[in-house]
Amino acid sequence: MAETLLSLSKVRAGYGNAMMLHDVALELPEHGSLALLGRNGVGKSTLLLTIMGYCNMRAGDVKWRGKDISRLPPHRRAREGIGWVAQEREIFPSLSVEENLTTTARPGSWDLDAIFKMFPRLKERRRNMGNQLSGGEQQMLAIARALMTNPSLLLLDEPLEGLAPVIVEELIHAIKQMLDSRQLAIVLVEQHTEIALELTEDALVLERGAVAYRGKSAQLREDRATLERLVGLRVATTA
């Protein structure tokens, strides 16, 4: 059995006094992969923000390699090895692609060479400014920048949202490569349910801020009734 990398138990968290997550538990092994699914507004992004330390957590704990990190501020969690790509894909607009990648980089096997091999488009655009990139290129850059910090866990919030099919294919390929490298674990929030379940080992579905399903991704894929009930009909579409 792989060591547990991240575990949450009985987490109650939200914004100010408004609690959006209730009694949430999850466990992720080193190099594991988890699809985090559910309809709009159920708390997926909030859960990632809670793991990063941006939310107000009222109960429960977040453990990293067995150590309670519930009270660590976000930058300390990042330094521990948790990388996060926000749904808004924040990049530095007035820095070049290469500068975006190197400003927050930390030593490890993901360096410029490895990144440019994975995203040839970014190599072609290395001298372009962040604000000169297409939506797809910005998403690649946001993911690449997080990888350059050499995290042990990467939290991806709807990385495929609103992108052209050809870019979606490239990103799927990149995510597969990351997982195959066995160097990091991934939590993948996605509306493209089929893709998320294909990429990951485990799945967790939220409903109104609580865990409504947890199990193997392969199993959930076959369970159309549960998928339709908890995720909706978008499950019928594959990119």
**Contact residues for ligand ADP (CB under 6 A)?**
15, 18, 20, 38, 40-46
Contact partner at residue 225 from ligand ADP, Mg ion, none, CB < 5 to 8 Å by partner kind: none
Contact partner at residue 94 from Mg ion, ligand ADP, none, CB < 5 to 8 Å by partner kind: none
Contact partner at residue 138 from ligand ADP, Mg ion, none, CB < 5 to 8 Å by partner kind: none
**Token output for 131:** 């604000």
Question: 127 to each of 83, 96, 121, 217, how far by Cα in Å?
Answer: 24, 5, 12, 40
Contact partner at residue 43 from Mg ion, ligand ADP, none, CB < 5 to 8 Å by partner kind: ligand ADP
Main-chain dihedrals φ then ψ at residue 89, nearest 5 degrees = 40, 70
Contact partner at residue 19 from Mg ion, ligand ADP, none, CB < 5 to 8 Å by partner kind: none
3-state SS, one letter per residue, for 208-236 = CCEEEEEEEHHHHHHCHHHHHHHCCHHHH
Candidate ranges 42-50, 109-117, 131-139, 144-152; the one touching Mg ion (CB under 5 A): 42-50
Least CB distance to ligand ADP at residue 140 (A) = 22
| Cα–Cα dist 15/106, whole Å | 31
Closest CA to 189 of 84, 92, 119: 84
Of residues 11 and 148, the one with the C-beta less far from ligand ADP: 11
**Token output for 174:** 């990149």
Least CB distance to Mg ion at residue 140 (A) = 20
Of residues 86 and 112, the one with the C-beta less far from ligand ADP: 86
∠ CA 133-135-139, rounded to 5°:
95
Least CB distance to Mg ion at residue 234 (A) = 14
* Residue selected from 33, 45, 139, 193 as contacting Mg ion according to rule CB under 5 A: 45
Of residues 13 and 91, the one with the C-beta less far from ligand ADP: 13
CA torsion 134→105→178→163, rounded to 10°?
Answer: -10
